[in-house]
Amino acid sequence: MLGQVVISGLLAGALYSMVALGLGLIFGVMRVLNVSHGPLLMLGAYTTFWLFQWLGLNPYVSLVVSMPLLFMVGMGLQRLFVRRVVDAPELSTLLLTFGISIALVNLAQLAFTADLRSVEFLTGSFVVGPFAFSKSRVIACAFAIVITMAAFVFLKTTRLGKAIRAVSQSREVAQVCGIDVGRIHMLAFGIGSALAAAGGTLVAVMVAIQPEMGQVYTFKSFLVIVLGGAGNYPGALLGGLLLGLIEQMSSLFLTTQINEAVAYVLLVLVLLVRPTGLLKGRAS
Amino acid sequence: MRRLFLPLLALALLILALYPIKGTGYGVRFMLQLFMWIALAQSWNLISGLTGYVSFGHIAFFGMGAYTAGILIAKLGWPWLLASLAGGLGAVVLALVIGFPCLRLKGPYFAIAMLGLNEVLRVAVSYFERLTGGGSGLSLPALYASVPIYYAMGLTAAAVTALAYVIVTSRFGLRLMTIREDEVAAEAMGIDTFRYKLYAFLLSAVAPGIVGGLAARDQSYIEPISVFPLIMTITMIVMVLFGGKGTIWGPVLGAVLLFTLQEMIWARFIYLHQLLFGAIIITVVLLMPRGILGVLQQKYNLPRTI
C-alpha cells in the first residue's frame, strides 16, 4: 500500500514539477505571478483533444504542436499585456493575469462549449508485482521528466538559457552585460507557457477536459514554487515531487473533500513558517 | 464646488432614504446590492488601498459573516439584524486569527496566503456538515424584508464610507499610507507598522461580515460556493481600482459605475459576461491604474481627502 502511494505520488509529482517550473520561470525572470498559467495548460489540453479528434493524432505526438503553439501564445500575451506591468506593484500583475485568465476560460467556453471532453487513448494499467499503475500516468511522468530535463539543460548550457538565468538573478546587471532584457522576458513567458501546454497535453489523456480544468493547476503551481523557494529552479522540482507525495499520502487518511484543502493549508503553512521555501529562494 | 458638496451629499442621502417608498421591488433590490458592493469595495480599500497589502481573499470575511449570521438565524432563531452584527464580529475574529501570522508576509506572498485561506475556509465550511449544511447549503426560514435590509445595507455602506473619511483625514490614516509608500522608512520613523496594519485589517473585516449576514438573510439560502467566490474579491478590487485606490469616494464611484454597467449591459450578454469582465480588468490595470479619481486628483490638483 505504502509503496503504491509513494510511487503514485512521484508520478503525479513529476508532472507538477514540470508545470510549476514554467510558472517559476516566469516569476523568477519577471517577478510576475501568472494567474493565467492554468488556463494556458487548459489550452494545451484542448489542442491535444482536437488534434486527436480531427486527425486521430497520437496525443503524445501532439506535444510537438501544443508546445510551440502555446509558446507563441505566451509570447503574444507577454508582448501585448504583461510587458506593461513588469515593474508595477503585485496588485497590477495579479489582476492583469487574472483578467487574462478569465478571458481565456470564457473564450474556451465560447469556442469549445463547456462539455466535458476526453481523449480515450491508452487505458489500463501496468502491473508490477503487487503494484498497479495506470499506463497514461507512467508515460506522462516519463515525458514530464524528459521535458523538465531538457528545460534544465537548456537553462544550464545554452547562451540563451544563461541569459535567462542572468536576468532572473539581476535584471540591471544583465542589461549592463548587453542582454536584451525585453526579449528574454518574452522568451521566458513563452517557455513557461510551453511547459504549461506540455502539462495540458499530458493530463488530457488522464482527466476530463473542460474550460475550467486549469485553475487547480495554477494554485498547485503556486504551492510548488513556494515550497521550493521562489526563483529557485531546482526547488520547483523538489516542490513538485513533495506535493505529489503529500497529496497521495493524505488521500489515505482524509476524505476527498478535505483532501482538496490540503494543498491550500500547506501553502499557507509554508508561507508562514518558511517563506523562503525549503531550498533557499528569495523572500521579497 | 466645495460649498455645494455637503448640501448635495445630504440631498442624495435623503433621496436614497425615501426611495423605498416609491421604488419598485426590482429597484429596491438593485440598490440594496449596490450598497453591498459599496461596503465591500470600501472595506477592501481600507486595508489594500491605504496600506498596499493586497488582500486577494477578502470575500472570506463576507462568507464568514454570512455563515455566522445564517447559523444564528437558522439554528438559534436570532433576529436577522442582531445576527448580521454578530456576523461582523465573527469576521473580525477571523481577521484577528489570520492577521497575526499573515500580515508579516510581504508583497505577493500576502496576496497568495489570503487567496489560500479563502479556499481553506470554503472547504472547511463544506466539511462541517452538521453545523453548516455542507455542500448542499443552508436554508434560512422565509422572510420578506427587502426594505429593512435595504436600510441596513445602506447604513453599513454609509458607515464604512464615513469611516474611510475619518481614517484618511487622521494621523492613523497617514501612518497607513506611510506603510504603503515605504514600510521600512515607516518602521524607521518609529511607526509600529505591524500594529497599524493589524488595526486596518480588523477594520476592513467588519463591514464585509455585516453585509455577508445581511446578504444571507436577503437571499435566504447560502452555500459555500456562493459566499466564498474568488470572482467577488476580484470584482471589489476592480471597483476600487476603477474609482480610485486610496481615495474616499473612489470605491463608491467604482462600485456605482461597475455594478450599474454589470446590471444594465452585461446581463444581456450572458455568454460574453466573463470575457467582457476580463477585458475591463485588463483595460483598467493597463490604462488607468490610478482610477478615475486618481486621474482627476492629479490633473486638477484636488485635495487628498476626496
Bigger pLDDT: B134 vs A213: A213
Asked whether residue A187 is domain-assigned, the answer is yes
For residue A279, pLDDT beyond 70: no
Partner residue opposite B277 with nearest CB, options A102, A283, A284: A102
Asked whether residue A54 is domain-assigned, the answer is yes
Find the mean pLDDT for residues B80-86.
93
pLDDT of residue A235: 87
Asked whether residue A229 is domain-assigned, the answer is no
Whether residue B290 lies within 8 A of chain A, CB to CB, comes out as no
Tell me which residue range forms the domain holding A124: 2-212
First to last CA, chain B: 12
Rounded to the nearest 10 degrees, what angle do helices B59-76 and B107-127 cross at?
A: 20
For residue B188, pLDDT beyond 80: yes
Contact B273 A106 (CB under 8 A): yes
Q: For residue A127, give the H/E element and its range.
A: strand A125-128
Whether residue B242 lies within 8 A of chain A, CB to CB, comes out as no
Residue-wise pLDDT tens digits, B113-172: 898 889 889 888 888 888 888 778 888 888 888 888 999 999 999 999 999 999 999 999
Q: Label residue A166 by pLDDT band (50, 70, 90).
A: very high
Distance from the A32 Cα atom to the nearest Cα atom in chain B, whole angstroms: 9
Contact A109 B108 (CB under 8 A): no
- Other beta carbons within 10 angstroms of residue B50's beta carbon come to 26
Cβ pair A18, A148 in contact under 8 A: yes
Partner residue opposite A103 with nearest CB, options B111, B234, B279: B279
Find the mean pLDDT for residues B87-92.
96
Cβ pair A270, A226 in contact under 8 A: yes
Q: Label residue A253 by pLDDT band (50, 70, 90).
A: confident
For residue A11, pLDDT beyond 70: yes
Find the mean pLDDT for residues B72-83.
91
pLDDT of residue A252: 83
Q: Label residue A160 by pLDDT band (50, 70, 90).
A: very high
Find the mean pLDDT for residues A142-147.
95
- Cross-strand bridge partners of residue A132: A127
A264 neighbourhood in chain B, CB within 8 Å: 116-117, 119-120, 123
Partner residue opposite A94 with nearest CB, options B105, B111, B289: B111
Residue-wise pLDDT tens digits, B191-228: 899 999 999 999 999 999 999 999 999 998 999 888 89
> Smallest Cα–Cα separation from B232: which of B264, B203, B262, B253?
B262
Cβ pair A34, A225 in contact under 8 A: no
Buried b (16+ CB within 10 A) or exposed e, B214-229: bbbbbebebbbeebbb
pLDDT of residue B144: 80
Give, as one character, the DSSP assignment of residue A122: S
Q: Which amino acid, one-letter code, is at B124?
A: A
pLDDT of residue A281: 58
Alpha-helix runs per DSSP H in B220-272 = 224-227, 230-243, 250-264
Residue-wise pLDDT tens digits, B41-53: 999 999 999 998 9
Highest mean pLDDT of the ranges A61-75, B13-27, B221-235: A61-75
Contact A96 B52 (CB under 8 A): no
Total length of chain B: 306
Contact A264 B234 (CB under 8 A): no
Give, as one character, the DSSP assignment of residue A34: -
The sign of the torsion formed by the CA atoms of A207, A211, A213, A214 equals: positive
Find the mean pLDDT for residues A42-50.
96
For residue A60, pLDDT beyond 70: yes
Total length of chain A: 284
Highest mean pLDDT of the ranges A254-263, A269-278, B156-165: B156-165
Give, as one character, the DSSP assignment of residue B142: P
Contact A98 B234 (CB under 8 A): yes
- Cross-strand bridge partners of residue B139: B221
* Look-up of cell digits 474579491: B233
For residue A230, pLDDT beyond 70: yes
Q: What gap in Å lies between CA A124 and CA B64, rounded to an integer?
A: 45
pLDDT of residue B249: 92
Contact B275 A107 (CB under 8 A): yes
Q: What Rg value do the Cα atoms of chain A yield, rounded?
A: 18
pLDDT of residue B289: 83
Distance from the A270 Cα atom to the nearest Cα atom in chain B, whole angstroms: 10
Complex-level ipTM: 0.88
Q: Label residue A14 by pLDDT band (50, 70, 90).
A: very high
pLDDT of residue A269: 85
For residue B300, pLDDT beyond 70: yes
Asked whether residue A63 is domain-assigned, the answer is yes
> Smallest Cα–Cα separation from A220: which of A32, A28, A19?
A19
Bigger pLDDT: B164 vs A133: B164
For residue A283, pLDDT beyond 50: no
The total number of structural domains in chain A stands at 1
Asked whether residue A184 is domain-assigned, the answer is yes
For residue B173, pLDDT beyond 70: yes
Asked whether residue A217 is domain-assigned, the answer is no
For residue B271, pLDDT beyond 90: no
pLDDT of residue A284: 41
What backbone torsions phi and psi does residue B49 show, to the nearest 5 degrees? -70, -35
A260 neighbourhood in chain B, CB within 8 Å: 123
Average pLDDT of the residues of chain B: 89
Asked whether residue A203 is domain-assigned, the answer is yes
> Smallest Cα–Cα separation from B121: which of B77, B84, B76, B68?
B68
Asked whether residue A223 is domain-assigned, the answer is no
Q: For residue A128, give the H/E element and its range.
A: strand A125-128
What backbone torsions phi and psi does residue A7 show, to the nearest 5 degrees? -70, -40
Cβ contacts of residue B215 below 8 Å, gap of 6+?
B36, B62, B66, B227
